[in-house]
Amino acid sequence: MATAAQAAAAAFLSFLSSSPSHHTAPSSVSLGATPVLPVSLRAAAAGGPRLSSPLRGRRISAVTAQLPTAHPEVASGDKKIRWSSRAVRSFAMAELEARKMRYPTTGTEGLLMGILVEGTSGAAKLLRANGITLLNVREEAANVLGKSEMFYFSPMHPPLTEAAQRALDWAVNEKLKSGEDGEVTANHLLLGIWSDKESAGHKILASLGFDDEKARLLTKTAGEEAAMSPR
C-alpha cells in the first residue's frame, strides 16, 4: 500500500503534467516580440545558423558585409566590394588570437594567425605546405613583439593596428585594380600582410621561410579562389 508521502508525490507529478503553462519563458526572449538571438561573426560568415520552427529555413543575416576600411568609398556605390566568407572568418579568428596572446590590438601577426586558424583558404593551405603553422607563428610573434603581461586582458574587439589596416586596404585595392569579378579572399589578405615589409606579419613570414616566390605563386591562385569562393 502506498504511503501518504508517495501519494502526495504522485498527485504533484500529475498536477505538473496537466499544467503546460507552468513553465516560464527564457529570460532572453520577450513575450510577444521577435526573439533577439546573439550571432557571432564566425557563424554569420558561415551563412548563419538555422533557426528552429516557426523560423526554420530562414538564415540570420550576416553581422557585417564589409571588413574595416580606411577608405569608406569602397564600401558603397560602384566600388562596393565583397569579402569571401573565409576572409571574414579569418578576420574574426584574428581578433580571437589577439585576445589569446593578450595583445591590446589586432596586428598583421593576428591576421596571419587568423588565416591559419580558419584553415580552409588557399592561403592557409600554402602556408601549411611550406611548414608555416599556427604554433610557429605564435612563437615567432612572441619573439618579434614580446609577451604581454600575465594579468592583462585584451578588449573584446582589439582595434586594428595601422599595419593591419593597410593590409586590409591593400587587399581591397588589389582586387579593384584587377578588374575581375569575385570576392576579396584570404589570399589577398595574406598578400596584403606580405606587402608591408615593416609589419610584424611580414617579419614573421620571412623568418619562417616565406618569400617573394611563394607570394607570386599565391598571386596566381588568388583570382581563381575569388571566382570560386562560396557565398
- From residue 128, alpha-carbon distances to 104, 133, 137 in Å are 27, 6, 11
Question: Residue 202 phi/psi, 5° resolution?
Answer: -65, -45
**Are the C-beta atoms of 184 and 231 separated by less than 8 Å?**
no
Is the pLDDT score of 202 beyond 90?
yes
Average confidence score pLDDT of the chain? 75
CA 80 to chain centre: 21
Q: What is the CATH number of the domain that holds 125?
A: 1.10.1780.10
**Size of the chain in residues:** 231
pLDDT band, residue 38 (cuts 50/70/90) = very low
Q: Is residue 33 part of a domain?
A: no
Q: Which amino acid is at 90?
A: S
| DSSP assignments along 20-36, one per residue | GGGSPPPTTS-TTS---
**pLDDT, mean of residues 18-47:** 38
Q: How far is 91 from 118, CA to CA, in rounded Å?
A: 9
Instruction: Tell if the pTM clears 0.85, that is, is over it.
Output: no
Domain assignment of residue 12, yes or no: no
DSSP state of 5: H
Of 189, 206, 186, 208, the residue nearest 197 (C-alpha): 206
Share of the chain above pLDDT 70, in %: 62
User: Is 177 within a domain?
Assistant: yes
pLDDT at 150: 76
Confidence band for 123, pLDDT divided at 50, 70 and 90: very high
Cα gap 85→70, rounded to integer Å: 21
In the predicted model, what is the mean pLDDT of residues 107-130? 97
Cβ–Cβ under 8 Å, residues 95 and 158: yes
Residue whose grid cell is 588557399: 122
Find the mean pLDDT for residues 26-42. Answer: 36
Among 25-34, 36-45, 201-210, the range of highest mean pLDDT? 201-210
Determine, yes or no, domain membership for 223. Answer: yes
Domain count, the chain: 1
> Higher model confidence: residue 164 or residue 221?
164
Whether 9 is covered by a domain: the verdict is no
Are 195 and 167 within 8 A, CB to CB?
Answer: yes
Tell me which residue range forms the domain holding 218: 82-227
Which of 122, 92, 118 minimizes the C-alpha distance to 106?
92
Q: Look at residues 105, 88, 106, 78 and name the one whose alpha carbon lies nearest to residue 45.
A: 88
The predicted model gives 32-36 an average pLDDT of: 35
Question: Has residue 52 been placed in a domain?
Answer: no
Identify the band that residue 228 occupies on the pLDDT scale cut at 50, 70 and 90. low
Is 110 part of a structural domain of the chain?
Answer: yes
The answer to whether residue 93 sits within a structural domain is: yes
